[in-house]
């Protein structure tokens, strides 16, 4: 388990995401997904930069299908941003999620 | 202080990794940069059947790992998930800033950034990306277990990935703009005989529809002009590629489609700047042709660096 990124399950979604005090970035990932492997180190790095200001969570899609379906997530990786219990901003998904784009979106959430 | 290399290769697909194998074996200090994990388009191809040396099909991810392991064995350094935040490729010494913090430099650069899946540019496409629309069957196929999906396209990728998607989906309907597949006959025949696959010929998507989630696509028959809407659980789009040329835009000559023009030795008009693989203007884009480009580029760089000394 990494230092700044916590893995959750759908049972913890309410508490960890919706009731969180800080803004949240939630990463839906899958296995056999090279773009997910590529995102992981960037997600980790950005999580470190915002430690204490925003929460970085990841959730394994295959093990949490109901929540993925409920949130309408149909691809991995997908990043969803939450503030005060509601989704904010554009989702980021697919192969080309840049570290700078993720950072910019977290910054705008904190602004 | 910038870290100094003999060669920086941008893009860890077949072209870039082959260049790295040749360069590292020639004892050049070689750095390969990729914003993802190594393998380029190969890593998300579910199987490769036409790469020599593999009498049985090889999984794209396995081939990608083999390429990168071979380059690393000879000492090439591969940096994964790294973003180039600044670059200067014009001068005698090429420079890069990585992730806004590191500096690297080298007298020679091979740009092998390849191509990304082409988007259709149809209304609703960006809205439903990740909400029903996908460009990667290996990544997202499992989301559509038991579902009815549509595939747009009729080339090798569209047909082969449709076959792969039948492992998950209950039904795969291919929507193709012509009245026959462009894919190789072996896969085209396999698709036509697959009971889970149906094909709608002569038709193009016009819109993707739904509230929050994709639930239908509107298609038009290009011959009869008939327009209809099809219910769908998801759409996979495989309609070709566009070159990734951000790094060299304005610096090198490009053809009208945006691919980079090079000499036979992969050189560009900028001394020390070479280009290899799918990003290049050429007739055929295959793993084998990318590998050939990478070889030539690395050998040309060796000659260039010797001439400089």
pLDDT digits (tens, 9 = 90+) for B105-114: 999 999 999 9
pLDDT score at A44: 94
Taking only the tens place, the pLDDT of each residue in B227-240 is 999 999 999 999 99
Residues of A with CB under 8 A from a CB of B: 30, 32-42, 45, 61-62, 68, 72-76, 78, 91, 93-96, 98-100
Q: What is the pTM of this model?
A: 0.90
User: Nearest 5 degrees, angle CA B259-CA B263-CA B269?
Assistant: 80
pLDDT score at A20: 95
Choice among A6, A7, A30, A33 that is catalytic: A33
Nearest-CB residue to A75 (from B61, B83, B140): B140
**Which residue range is the domain that position A56 belongs to?**
5-110
Architecture of B3-117+241-308 per CATH?
Answer: 3-Layer(bba) Sandwich (3.50)
Taking only the tens place, the pLDDT of each residue in B139-197 is 899 999 999 999 999 999 999 999 999 999 999 999 999 999 999 999 999 999 999 99
pLDDT score at A106: 97
Intervals of chain A under pLDDT 70: 1
pLDDT score at B15: 98
**How far apart, in whole angstroms, are the C-alpha atoms of residue B200 and residue B174?**
6
Intervals of chain B under pLDDT 50: none
- Asked if the Cβ–Cβ distance from B142 to A62 is below 8 Å, we say yes
**How far apart, in whole angstroms, are the C-alpha atoms of residue B138 and residue B135?**
9
What total of structural domains would you count in chain A? 1
Q: Which residue has the tokens 């579902």?
A: B147
Between positions 22 and 81 of B, the ones with CB within 8 A of A are: 35-37, 39, 43-44, 61, 64, 80-81
- Residue of chain B minimizing CA distance to A80: B130
Domain boundaries, chain B: 3-117+241-308, 133-237
**How far apart, in whole angstroms, are the C-alpha atoms of residue B23 and residue B218?**
50
Query: What ipTM is given for this predicted complex?
Result: 0.85
Cβ contacts (< 8 Å) between A42 and chain B: which residues?
81, 83
Residue A50 φ/ψ, nearest 5 degrees: -110, 20
Q: What DSSP assignment string belongs to B29-76?
A: -EEEE-SSSTTGGGGG-S-B-SSTT-SS-B-HHHHHHHHHHHHHHTT-
**How far apart, in whole angstroms, are the C-alpha atoms of residue A77 and residue A40?**
9
pLDDT score at B261: 97
User: How does strand B241-243 pair with strand B102-106?
Assistant: unpaired
> What is the CATH T-level fold of the domain B133-237, as seen in this structure?
FAD/NAD(P)-binding domain (3.50.50)
- Asked if the Cβ–Cβ distance from A61 to B143 is below 8 Å, we say yes
Torsion, Cα B254 B260 B261 B267, to 10 degrees, reads 130
- A52: CATH: 3.40.30.10
Buried-exposed string A47-83: b where 16+ CB fall within 10 A, e elsewhere:
beebeeebbbbbbbbeebeebbeebbbbbbbbbbbbe
**How far apart, in whole angstroms, are the C-alpha atoms of residue B40 and residue B34?**
9
- E strands in chain A: 5-8, 24-29, 55-60, 78-83, 86-93
Q: pLDDT exceeding 90 applies to what percent of chain A? A: 89
Element (H, E) at B133: strand B133-134
Alpha carbon of B126 to those of A53, A90, B112: distances in Å? 30, 11, 27
Dihedral angle sign, alpha carbons of residues B120, B124, B127, B133: negative
For residues B32 and B77, the answer to whether their CB atoms sit within 8 Å is yes
Neighbour order of strands in the sheet with B77-79: B77-79, B30-33, B7-10, B108-111, B273-275
């Amino acid at each position: 388990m990494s230092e700044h990124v916590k893995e959750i399950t759908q049972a913890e979604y309410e508490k960890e995401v919706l009731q969180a005090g800080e803004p949240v970035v939630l990463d839906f990932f899958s296995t056999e997904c090279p773009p997910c492997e590529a995102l992981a180190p960037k997600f980790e790095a950005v999580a470190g930069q915002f430690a204490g200001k925003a929460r970085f969570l990841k959730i394994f899609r295959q093990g949490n299908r109901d929540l993925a379906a409920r949130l309408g997530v149909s691809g991995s990786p997908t990043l969803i941003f939450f503030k005060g219990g509601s989704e904010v901003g554009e989702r980021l998904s697919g192969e080309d999620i840049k570290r700078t784009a993720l950072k910019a979106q977290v910054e705008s959430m904190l602004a | 202080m910038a870290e100094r290399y003999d060669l920086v290769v941008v893009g860890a697909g077949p072209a870039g990794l082959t260049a790295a194998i040749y360069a590292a074996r020639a004892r050049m200090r070689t750095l390969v940069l990729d914003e993802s994990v190594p393998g380029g388009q190969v890593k998300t191809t579910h199987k490769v059947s036409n790469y020599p040396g593999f009498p049985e099909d090889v999984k794209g991810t396995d081939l990608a790992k083999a390429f990168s392991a071979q380059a690393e064995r000879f000492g090439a350094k591969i940096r994964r998930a790294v973003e180039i935040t600044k670059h200067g490729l014009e001068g005698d010494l090429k420079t890069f800033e990585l992730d806004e913090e590191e500096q690297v430099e080298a007298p020679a650069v091979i740009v092998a950034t390849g191509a990304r899946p082409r988007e259709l540019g149809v209304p609703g496409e960006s809205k439903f990306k990740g909400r029903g629309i996908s460009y990667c069957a290996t990544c997202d196929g499992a989301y559509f277990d038991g579902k009815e999906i549509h595939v747009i396209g009729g080339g090798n990728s569209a047909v082969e990935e449709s076959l792969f998607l039948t492992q998950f989906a209950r039904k795969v309907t291919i929507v193709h703009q012509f009245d026959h597949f462009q894919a190789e006959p072996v896969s085209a025949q396999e698709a036509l005989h697959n009971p889970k696959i149906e094909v709608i010929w002569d038709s193009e998507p016009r819109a993707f529809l739904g509230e929050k989630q994709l639930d239908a696509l509107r298609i038009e028959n290009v011959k009869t002009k008939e327009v209809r809407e099809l219910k769908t659980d998801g759409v996979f789009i495989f309609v070709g590629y566009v070159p990734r040329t951000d790094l060299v835009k304005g610096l090198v000559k490009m053809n009208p489609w945006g691919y980079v023009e090079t000499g036979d030795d992969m050189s560009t008009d900028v001394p020390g700047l070479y280009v290899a693989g799918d990003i290049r203007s050429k007739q055929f884009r295959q793993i084998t042709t990318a590998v050939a480009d990478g070889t030539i580029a690395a050998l040309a760089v060796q000659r260039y660096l010797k001439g400089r000394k």
